[in-house]
Amino acid sequence: MSKRKQIDLSIDKIEEQEKYIEAIHRMNEGLFNRTGYRKSYFCTTFGCQMNEHDSEMLINMLEAMGYVQALSEDQADLVIYNTCAVRENAELKVYGNLGHLKSIKKKRPDMKIVVCGCMMQQPHVVEEIKKKYRHVDLIFGTHNLYKFPELLESTFNRDKIIVDVWDVDGEVVEGLKSNRKFEIKAFVNIMYGCNNFCTYCIVPYTRGRERSRKPGDIIDEIRSLVKDGTKEVTLLGQNVNSYGKTLEDDQKISFAQLLREVNKIDGLERIRFMTSHPKDISDDVIYAMRDCDKVCEFLHLPFQAGSTSLLKKMNRHYTKEDYLKIIEKAKREIPNLAFSTDIMIGFPGETDQDVDDTIDICEQVRYDSAFTFIYSKRRGTPAAKMLDQVPDDVKHQRFERVLEVVNRISGEKNANYLGKTLEVLVEGASKKNEAVLTGKSRHNKTVNFTGGDKSMIGKLVQVKITDPKSFSLNGELVK
């Protein structure tokens, strides 16, 4: 499809949905004018930053339709669960929440319940909801987010559940606006989907294959955000290092080149990105991080397991040695670089020696933080069919062993910041103490500090660290 046709198609789809937004807005305004009552929504997001960003777009549509945010799902006229299929716990929470709403819906039959996102891309999940949670009004998936206003409108005069889940990924629809959680920080999708098919992961089946956004659309979005006050952007993709591979020849650039282009945007202060896949991160990306002053000295690089044999079973396409060479290169080019990672415990066939290899990587790299989790079967993935599943009690013992190492190293890394002065982007007041401000350093450290006031929110300030904690840093403003 030509660039011109893609643009026209996105415009047509957005214009069509704006008609439904306007129609629902008129209906809600009419209700308010007659009764003084505003309809409300409550949106709960499960999963990753991609899901968070999808929810930001859904909320923007809802508020354009005249809905206001409710204090709780029990009070809301419309409840949305934007779901995640990666972890079993997230799925169980969704089912539990839906069960909780059943009695509330009986008392308030006009309440609308919407379930969307990655879980809905799995046919067995949709059948489960249709069978056991008939009080749900609408189900849709990850590929037709832009159709939400149209789908919502169709629930108003129907008692039966509406299901609109696409089993294929289509073109990227541009022009969807977001209601950002933070005005000063924003997620920006640079691509959708994943081509890696790790044996434990459901994402390629729920998010589809890789599709990169055109660089011009990404740059335009970020410029618009900066104009509205955004200081920091996080570029999002399941594997940002694959960015650009699906672009047409006249648009094709690499992720490293994109970083350099975003770095040129006037008024933008900071750039972050996630997630990087070790098999695809290039020297050019590391050099771009080194050279671009706005790219933060922070790299999230999941290794999942320290054992080369397990990595092969996971279909990760790198070895333990490959991973450590990447880390060594990054440390050499960017000496003050901070690292975070993902660590999976209990993958089928895992041995005590494999866990030793994982701990060895933690000790060598010395991560500032790590998301450590226990493997759970995901229906439809090759790993779920493997016969050598690890018993739950063994998984938990190994998990605690690794977590102890991760937390110890994190505390030791933070202790090294005592007496140092860090640049902090102020995000707001601490939830625990209004007199304390909080923000993030370039190394993604949460920094709480005294000596400032709320006029500093959205600004970069210098903070001297006086009391490092295991998972955050406390300090005082340098005036």
Alpha-carbon distances of 408 from 107, 339, 401, rounded to whole Å: 50, 15, 11
Q: Does residue 98 share a domain with residue 69?
A: yes
Binding residues: 48, 84, 118, 194, 198, 201
Query: What are the b/e assignments for 147-157, b being 16+ CB within 10 Å?
Result: bbbbbbbebee
On whether residue 146 sits in a domain, the answer given is yes
DSSP, res 476: E
Question: In degrees, to the nearest 5, what angle opens at C-alpha 53 toward C-alphas 51 and 58?
Answer: 90
Tokens of 304: 């999942």
Name which of 167, 140, 138, 142 is nearest 154 in CA terms.
138
CATH number where 466 lies:
2.40.50.140
Nearest-angstrom CA–CA distance, 235 and 272: 6
Same domain, 399 and 443: no
Cα separation, 184 vs 182, in Å, equals 5
Q: Binding-site residues for [4Fe-4S] cluster, please?
A: 48, 84, 118, 194, 198, 201
Domain contains 302: no
Give the separation between CA 23 and CA 468, rounded to whole angstroms: 53
Please spell the DSSP secondary structure of 332-386, one letter per residue: HHSTT-EEEEEEEE--TT--HHHHHHHHHHHHHH--SEEEEEE----TTSGGGG-
pLDDT value, residue 199: 97
- 232 within 8 A of 187, measured Cβ to Cβ: no
Specify whether 436 is located in the same domain as 410: no
Query: Could you give the number of structural domains in the chain?
Result: 4
Is residue 152 domain-shared with residue 272, that is, in the same domain? Answer: no
Question: What is the spatial distance between Cα 195 and Cα 18, in angstroms, rounded to a whole number?
Answer: 32
The DSSP-derived string for 51-105 is HHHHHHHHHHHHHHTT-EE-SSGGG-SEEEEEE--S-HHHHHHHHHHHHHHHHHH
User: What pLDDT is attached to residue 3?
Assistant: 45
| β-bridge partners, 339 | 299
Asked if 477 and 451 count as a contact pair (C-beta separation under 8 A), the reply is yes
Does residue 310 lie within any of the structural domains?
A: no
Residue at 81 is within a domain: yes
- Confidence (pLDDT) at 273: 97
Are 403 and 459 contained in the same domain? Answer: no
Q: Is residue 464 part of a domain?
A: yes
The verdict on 89 and 158 lying in the same domain is: yes
Question: Are 101 and 189 members of one domain?
Answer: no
Same domain, 148 and 66: yes
Q: Looking at 377, 397, 416, which one is the last position of a domain?
A: 416
Which residues are CB-neighbours of 368 under 8 A, at least 6 positions away? 298, 338, 339, 340, 410, 413, 414, 443, 444, 445
Give the dihedral of Cα atoms 203, 209, 211, 212; nearest 10 deg: 60
Q: Which residues of 225-261 are buried (b: 16+ CB within 10 A; e: fewer)?
A: bbeeebbbbbbbbbbbbbbbbbbeeeeeebbbbbbbe
Contact 39, 30 (CB under 8 A): no
Examine the fold and report which residue of 113, 135, 164 is the final residue of a domain before the chain moves on.
Answer: 164
CB atoms within 10 A of CB 447: 25
Asked whether residue 408 falls in the same domain as residue 433, the answer is no
Widest pairwise Cα distance in the chain = 70
Q: What is the CATH number of the domain that holds 374?
A: 3.30.750.200
Q: What is the CA radius of gyration of the chain?
A: 23
Give the C-alpha separation, 209 to 191, whole Å. Answer: 10
Identify whether residues 359 and 449 lie together within a single domain: no
Looking at the fold, whether 152 and 187 belong to one and the same domain comes out as no
C-alpha to C-alpha distance for 321 and 335, rounded to whole angstroms = 20
**303 lies in a domain?**
no
pLDDT for res 2 = 43
- What's the confidence (pLDDT) of residue 397? 98
How many residues appear in the chain? Answer: 479
Q: How would DSSP label each residue in 132-172?
A: H-TT--EEE-SS-GGGHHHHHHHTTT--S-EEE--SS----
Which of 416, 438, 468 is where one domain is finished?
A: 416
Residue 315 maps to a domain? no
The CATH number assigned to the domain holding 69 equals 3.40.50.12160
446 cis-preceded (ω within 30 degrees of 0)? no
The C-alpha torsion from 396 through 397 and 400 to 403, rounded to 10°, is -90
Task: Report yes or no on 1 lying in a domain.
Answer: no
Could you tell me if 286 and 398 lie in one domain?
no
Residue 381 belongs to what domain range? 323-416
Q: How far apart are CA 233 and CA 271, in angstroms?
A: 5
Provide the sign of the torsion angle of the four alpha carbons 147, 56, 118, 103, taken in this order.
negative
Q: What is the mean pLDDT of each run of 10 residues along the chain (479 residues)?
A: 47 85 96 96 91 91 96 96 88 94 94 95 94 96 92 91 83 63 85 93 87 95 94 95 91 96 98 95 97 98 97 97 98 96 98 98 98 93 96 97 98 97 96 92 97 94 97 95
Question: Looking at residue 193, which CATH number applies to its domain?
Answer: 3.30.750.210
* H runs (alpha helix) in 169-294: 203-207, 215-227, 255-263, 283-291
